[in-house]
Amino acid sequence: MNSSGIKVWLEGAIAASFSMALSLIPLDVGIGFSISIGMIPVVIYSFRRGFLPGLASGFVWGLLHILLGKAYILTVSQGLIEYLLAFACAGFAGLYAGKIQTLVKNGETPWMQLLFGVLLGTGIRYIWHFIAGVIFWGQFAAWGLSPVMYSLVINGTNALLTAAATFIVTLLLVKKNPGLVLPK
């Protein structure tokens, strides 16, 4: 692997580490609701380096949850879905990397592309949390809701809160320092 390849993967590991550090900050909103601000570094990295590196960084972020004992694992398959697969899917934001970088190079603020990228990465991540919620967490459904409705309420709310926070912070950071999304 050449030095530029090493730099890409090193940046990804650093982004995953920042994401994990931010994940340790409790941002719970009521019972079962939370904002996952750890999305921010992985999403920015995905906008900077693209889809595949973004997937890898998200995967490492999920793996760090497991290795540091911060994962809530009921079964092996649930752990794989909710921590390795779901967190990796944050990297789907990287599908907008090219459009974002082009606009930034032209001196424009790519707010719409940032929004779509954040929604894509967050949405796909939380689809996996929703599926795991129905299959594995459904037995704990509260408020008299079915497992499907309970998972939809909890994971849908968490996805919206996370997407909003990630978009706002990412937009502010990119406006202040557009170079964040440009590979060097």
Q: How confident is the model at residue 3 (pLDDT cuts 50, 70, 90)?
A: confident
Round the average pLDDT of the chain to a whole number and report it.
97
User: Domains, the chain, ranges and CATH?
Assistant: 3-181 (1.10.1760.20)
pLDDT value of residue 2: 81
* DSSP one-letter string for 51-95: HHHHHHHHHHHHHHHHHTT----SSHHHHIIIIIIHHHGGGGGGG
Q: Which two tokens stand for residue 139?
A: 């037995």
pLDDT tens-digit series, residues 45-77: 999 999 999 999 999 999 999 999 999 999 999
- CA 177 – CA 171 distance, rounded (Å): 10
Q: What H or E segment, with its residue span, contains residue 19?
A: helix 3-23
pLDDT tens-digit series, residues 167-179: 999 999 999 999 9
Q: How many CB atoms lie within 10 A of CB 52?
A: 13
pLDDT value of residue 76: 98
Q: How confident is the model at residue 31 (pLDDT cuts 50, 70, 90)?
A: confident
Q: What is the mean pLDDT of residues 97-120?
A: 99
List residues bridging with 28 in a β-sheet: 34
Residue 81 reports pLDDT greater than 80? yes
Whole-prediction pTM: 0.96
Residue 1 reports pLDDT greater than 80? no
